[in-house]
Amino acid sequence: MSFAARLQAGATVLAVILASATVRAEQNPERTRVSLQTMLDFADEHAPRILVSRAHVGRGEAAMEGASVVLQANPLLSAAAGPRFAGDQKGVDFQVRLQQRIEIAGERKQRKKAAEKFHERTQQELLEVRWIVHQEVHAAFHTALVARERWNVAKKLLVSTEELVSVAERRLRAGDISPLQVKLAGGELAQARQATITAERGYRTAQVTLAELSGWPLDSLPSPAGGLDDPKRAPSTEHLLALALEQHPGVAARASAVEEAKARVRLEDREAWPEPWLGVVYAREADPTINSTEHIVLGTLLLPIPFSQRNQGERARARAELSVREAEADAFRRNLSARLTRAATAVDADADRIAAYGTEILPAFESNLSLLRRAFELGEVDLLQVLVARERLLRIQQDALTAHQDYYGDVAALEAQVGTEVWPDEHHDHDSDEGGAP
């Protein structure tokens, strides 16, 4: 297939893509520009994972309500009646028995403690989930910012390419260049349009992900306000470790799980004690031979003998659960320093990468494209040189954005291990209308 035929086929495909993109644009939901703090606050109230965790707290409240019942077993009432025969005489006897099982080893008190510890654990787990969602939304917000910046770069490249095609057509009419160079510029324009569509899709996907994590309604996608932050190097590992041990909700949640498991062990030990039944019996006996009636009242005691069943299974399971919880808490704390060191190293490396590009790389992209177009317009460079230079500028631009994206991802990973924001004084309140794209 000739170059012209391939170019015509590419133009046909591009026309279809642009037509579908126009339809998608008309169907796209509205966008709402929001700051990071607004997103974090909204997620804390509406994020699906947080709503599920809040529902789990109700299980702890239900356990406390169940443990507060004074008598765990209902009383038993039995009755018996029947005739008594004495020769030709007949009378009627009946008996009523009332029994109640009681706990004598303080089971109710220990049951209430175990329920309270379970409730505390669900609350601590809710705090941990809230923090996880916080850092996920934090990361998704910045991922959307980077995706939007990639879209902006693609749009700037598209505008520059359209201008480049116009210059090529003017120079062709002036006889300065050959028709082949105009066709080459047209092919570059088709690629720039496709790259813009792909970049827009990436940004919309990032918006949907942000909405999904935070519980934001999809009929009004969040548009992150502001621009890319200046990178910072991570604090020392010693400072991060002290901060994590003090504030990480995961540490508190696992410590709470250990305390609950200990309370369960004590409860199951108490449950091994026998639980006697106390009761009272009232009997009415009729003696038909002397036509008299006797009334009898008896107290009863039924005491199980713990010969074989001493709650061995539940006691063993409770101790095994305690061992698991202690191991989980120990492993979480033991590996915390290594995880913090690894995450901090990644953040520092990303900050150095961004610093290597300097502060002028991203803003200078559009002006550099204009300089190339002007040089081509004046005939100082040919089209092939322009395209090679543009490709190199675009690669540098995309690499710089990739460094920013890696930085935000690694900051989120670091904050996930610390359990709180590493730089609380800089809360990223993006309320301006920077960034251009919706």
**Residue 223 domain-assigned (yes or no):** yes
pTM above 0.75, yes or no: yes
**Residue 340 domain-assigned (yes or no):** yes
pLDDT (tens digit per residue) in 248-259 = 999 999 999 999
Q: How many domains does the chain have?
A: 1
Alpha-carbon distance of 206 to 210, in angstroms, equals 6
pLDDT (tens digit per residue) in 148-185 = 999 999 998 898 889 888 888 888 888 888 888 888 88
**Residue 314 domain-assigned (yes or no):** no
Task: Decide if pLDDT at 24 tops 50.
Answer: no
* Domain extent for 191: 20-72+109-274+326-418
**Residue 430 domain-assigned (yes or no):** no
Cβ within 8 Å of residue 265, ≥6 positions away: 315, 318, 319, 322
Alpha-carbon distance of 345 to 410, in angstroms, equals 9
Nearest C-alpha neighbor of 177 from the set 193, 187, 165, 189: 165
Q: What is the pLDDT at residue 20?
A: 38
Alpha-carbon Rg for the chain in angstroms: 38
The per-residue DSSP string of 52-93 comes to: HHHHHHHHHHHHHHHHT-S-SS--EEEEEEEEEEETTEEEEE
Confidence of residue 23 (pLDDT cuts 50, 70, 90): very low
**Residue 7 domain-assigned (yes or no):** no
**Residue 181 domain-assigned (yes or no):** yes
Task: Decide if pLDDT at 12 tops 70.
Answer: no
Across the chain, mean pLDDT equals: 85
**Residue 299 domain-assigned (yes or no):** no
Q: What is the pLDDT at residue 316?
A: 96
Q: What is the domain-level CATH number for residue 374? A: 1.20.1600.10
Between 190 and 438, residue with greater pLDDT: 190
Task: Decide if pLDDT at 278 tops 70.
Answer: yes
- H or E segment to which residue 116 belongs: helix 107-173
**Residue 173 domain-assigned (yes or no):** yes
Half-sphere exposure for 114 (CA within 13 Å, toward CB): 22
Contact 341, 238 (CB under 8 A): no
Contact 337, 237 (CB under 8 A): yes
pLDDT (tens digit per residue) in 206-246 = 999 999 999 999 888 999 998 888 888 999 989 999 999 98
pLDDT (tens digit per residue) in 57-102 = 999 999 999 999 998 889 999 999 988 887 777 888 899 999 999 9
Contact 60, 122 (CB under 8 A): yes
Contact 225, 437 (CB under 8 A): no
